[in-house]
Amino acid sequence: MTAGQALTEVRRLLSDVGSSRWSDPVLLRYLSNAVRFLAGMRADLLLQEDGTITEVSELNYGTDEIDLPENVRGILADLTASSALQEDSDDRVNMERAAAYEDRAVARLVRGSPPVR
C-alpha cells in the first residue's frame, strides 16, 4: 500500500477528507510514527516471504510504499488518527476519540492476527 492510500483512511476517520485540518506532511509524520510503533510491537509484521526484514523508513510522500501486510491498514489508520487528534489535547472529546482509536489498534495488535501479504 502507499502512504497516500493509508492517509485516505486516516482522513476518513478524522472527518478531514478535504485536508482542511491536517496537512499531508503532518499526517505523514504521524503515519511514520505509527509504522515504527507497529514494528516495535509486532516485528513479525516486517518479515518478508524470503526471510528478510523490511526496513522502517520515514514516509515523506503519498507515493511512498509501506511494505506491511494489508490487514494492518486499519491499525495504521487508527494509530495515525489517534496522534492527530492528540494535537488538540485541550479538547476533551478529541482526546477521548484519540484514546479509543489507540486502544482499538493496540487490541488488534495484541490479538495477534497473522500477517496477510
Model confidence pLDDT, tens digit, residues 52-76: 887 778 888 889 888 888 888 899 9
Total domains, the chain: 1
Residue 81 sits in which domain range?
3-111
Predicted confidence at residue 100, as pLDDT, reads 94
Non-local (6+) Cβ contacts of 50 within 8 A are: none
What does pTM read for this prediction?
0.87
Predicted confidence at residue 112, as pLDDT, reads 67
Q: Is residue 69 part of a domain?
A: yes
Q: Is residue 107 part of a domain?
A: yes
Query: Is there a contact between 104 and 42 (Cβ–Cβ < 8 Å)?
Result: no
